[in-house]
Amino acid sequence: MDFTIDIARPVERVFALIVDLPNYHRWLPPSGLYGATTQVSDTPVTLGTTYVDGKRATLHGRVTEFRPPVALAFHQEARLLLSRLTIDIRYRLEPLGAHTRVYRTTTPQLSGVLAPLRPMIVRPIRDENLRTLAMMKQYLEHEGRA
């Protein structure tokens, strides 16, 4: 799943927000799928940092790519009874002067008893990606202007 959004903020600021895992609560409210990002192993976040997030399923995540300020990737995994969910998320940030084009690619993989439920599981994941980018844009474009 590929998503793109333009944010009226410099690339360094967008990257800083995405990498600030301990403070996602400041801009990303809980939803049906997302509760909070917790247990962040390193601050500042860097390659190899681990964390936990999720709501319906507890996802154990790890930073798998870290190239400030243009690329960042995460691998998340939930092991459930007789199944497994993995989600790879990759951000690529393109500086456009004072703006940033954000490319987000999300690749969910389901195995075991979850595999036949893929259509029912992937749609909420798609919606959560759209919500995350919209909240990111709203927060960044309005910070300091309240």
Q: Do 74 and 50 form a contact (C-beta atoms < 8 A)?
A: no
Architecture of domain 2-141: 2-Layer Sandwich (3.30)
Is the pLDDT assigned to residue 33 strictly greater than 90? no
pLDDT at res. 101: 98
Going edge to edge, which strands form the sheet with 83-96?
2-7, 99-112, 83-96, 71-80, 58-67, 50-54, 36-38
Sequence-distant (6+) residues with CB within 8 A of 7 are 14, 99, 100, 102, 136, 137, 140, 141
- 58-90 pLDDT, tens digit per residue, is 899 999 999 999 999 999 998 877 888 899 999
In this prediction the pTM is 0.90
Lowest mean pLDDT among 26-35, 43-52, 110-119: 110-119
Q: Provide mean pLDDT across the span 7-20.
A: 97
pLDDT at res. 57: 76
